[in-house]
Amino acid sequence: MDNLKGLQLSQMNSKPEIRFSVIVPARNEERMIGDCLERLAAMNYPTEKLEVILVDNGSTDRTLEVFQSWANRLNLRVLQRPNVKISALRNLGAEEAKGEGLAFLDADCLVPPDWLRDASTFLSNENEGVIGAHYRIPPDSTWLARSWFDDEHANTAGDTSYVPAGDVLLRKNTFVQIGGFDEKLETNEDYEFCRRARRLGIPLRSYPCLEVIHLGTPQRIGRFYRQQRWHGRHVFKVFVDNLPSLYNARAIFFAIYALLSVFTLVAGIGASIMTSRPQWILGAVGFLLFGPILLAARSTVKRRKFEIFLPLVLLYFLYGMARAACLLPRLDMSQWKSVPVTNQ
């Protein structure tokens, strides 16, 4: 696999570049969109083979103004569709795209110089389907991001089960064949999209050369918890809708465990008060922390970074609590509202 990219590049380097449409969904991204466009403008790719489509979800800041300021360096188009989920934004961009290749990119992501050149080479092979890579964190990230995200998904060249929607590249006819993103989903839509592609026999492959830097990587505990709760909103829906395939099973089972552990802690506190025996609380706390400790130990050993064990215990605990909250509608009422899309 290590030589896969080099072998394919050498076999296909004589093929012409694909005309790409880069689709960027956005809402109130004035702080990030300029950096994103700067990297796109600096790519080693012919400008006549590239269009950048901003699909705006009702921005109220300077997002559109900043975007249009790059018109002298990039072929830009703006589409507007307010108050819809991000899947609908991506689908609209794909529908209006003029390119034979689609490149989905989030507004808070930075592409490498050869992002489209490498993608064009890969997609020139008729055996390719959906390609991309998992995000990389910013180089100045905090302990939280380095502990949780940096090696969460190691990008190795070859078959994969999933790539995030903020770094997905494929031919437009392949996108149509898959049926686009599910517009009923606010989150987990990329995982469901990839699963549907696999069911159709369309290959999914990850390539390290396609990695993008995700500027929106949470760097603090509060943002981390909110992101995990937001991401978990439709994880359970995808799980139920795809039974008996057990999509998202591990995430759902851990959320259920975390929820049960909270109930156990409450019961343990009550039992200790009634019986004057602190053992009930100690046992409940032990049950609450057992899962995070087990997962943190597994990740620490796998990554051979023993200094991240304690941070990972905390982060897996927060992850479990966030995903458990998604199973309780009354504790996460926002999942029942039509929430404007942001790139998170």
Let me know whether 246 and 201 are in one domain: no
pLDDT of residue 342: 40
Let me know whether 150 and 32 are in one domain: yes
Q: Could you tell me if residue 344 is inside a domain?
A: no
Question: Which of 69, 85, 82 lies closest to 30 in space, CA to CA?
Answer: 69
Q: Which two tokens stand for residue 110?
A: 């930075």
Is 74 a residue whose pLDDT tops 80? yes
Give the domain range for residue 117. 4-217
Tell me how far apart the alpha carbons of residues 226 and 222 are, in angstroms, rounded to a whole number: 6
List of E strands, 207-304: 213-214
Let me know whether 66 and 199 are in one domain: yes
Instruction: Return the residue matching tokens 């992002």.
Output: 115
Q: Could you tell me if residue 230 is inside a domain?
A: no
Radius of gyration of the chain (CA): 22
Q: Could you tell me if residue 45 is inside a domain?
A: yes
Is 336 a residue whose pLDDT tops 90? no
Q: Could you tell me if residue 188 is inside a domain?
A: yes
**pLDDT tens-digit map of 5-20:** 444 444 444 466 789 9
Let me know whether 147 and 19 are in one domain: yes
Mean pLDDT of all residues in 70-79: 96
Mean pLDDT of all residues in 38-43: 96
CATH number of the domain that 109 lies in? 3.90.550.10
Q: Could you tell me if residue 178 is inside a domain?
A: yes
Cis preceding-peptide flag for 244 (omega within 30 of 0) = yes
Let me know whether 178 and 310 are in one domain: no
pLDDT of residue 230: 82
Distance of CA 159 to the CA centre of its chain: 18
Let me know whether 149 and 260 are in one domain: no
**pLDDT tens-digit map of 210-252:** 999 999 999 999 999 998 888 877 776 666 666 666 666 788 8
Counting residues of the chain whose pLDDT is more than 90, the rounded percentage is 64
Let me know whether 165 and 284 are in one domain: no
pLDDT of residue 2: 45
Tell me how far apart the alpha carbons of residues 292 and 105 are, in angstroms, rounded to a whole number: 32
Let me know whether 195 and 250 are in one domain: no
DSSP 33-95: HHHHHHHHHTSSS-GGGEEEEEEES---SSHHHHHHTTTTTS-EEEEE--S--HHHHHHHHHH
pLDDT band per the 50, 70, 90 thresholds, residue 126: confident
The whole model's pTM is what? 0.83
Mark which of 217, 248, 277 sits at the end of a domain. 217
**pLDDT tens-digit map of 295-320:** 999 989 988 888 999 999 999 999 99
pLDDT of residue 222: 94
Tell me how far apart the alpha carbons of residues 255 and 284 are, in angstroms, rounded to a whole number: 17
Counting residues of the chain whose pLDDT is more than 70, the rounded percentage is 85
Tell me how far apart the alpha carbons of residues 165 and 194 are, in angstroms, rounded to a whole number: 9
Is 327 a residue whose pLDDT tops 90? no
- Per DSSP, the three-state class of 28 is coil
CA-to-CA dists, residue 48 to 75, 87, 99, 124, angstroms: 8, 27, 11, 18
The mean-pLDDT minimum among 75-79, 226-230, 326-330 falls in 326-330
CA-to-CA dists, residue 135 to 128, 162, 268, 337, angstroms: 21, 12, 41, 28
- Per DSSP, the three-state class of 23 is strand
Let me know whether 249 and 212 are in one domain: no
Q: Could you tell me if residue 117 is inside a domain?
A: yes
Tell me how far apart the alpha carbons of residues 240 and 248 are, in angstroms, rounded to a whole number: 9
Give how many domains the chain has, as a whole number.
Answer: 2
CA-to-CA dists, residue 271 to 264, 276, 280, 288, 290, angstroms: 10, 8, 6, 16, 20
Mark which of 217, 248, 280 sits at the end of a domain. 217
User: Mean pLDDT for the chain?
Assistant: 86
Is 106 a residue whose pLDDT tops 60? yes
Let me know whether 197 and 255 are in one domain: no
Q: Could you tell me if residue 158 is inside a domain?
A: yes
Q: Could you tell me if residue 341 is inside a domain?
A: no
CA-to-CA dists, residue 309 to 39, 172, 218, 245, angstroms: 35, 43, 19, 32
Maximum CA extent, the chain: 79
Element (H, E) at 230: helix 221-231
Let me know whether 186 and 244 are in one domain: no
pLDDT of residue 242: 61
Let me know whether 124 and 188 are in one domain: yes
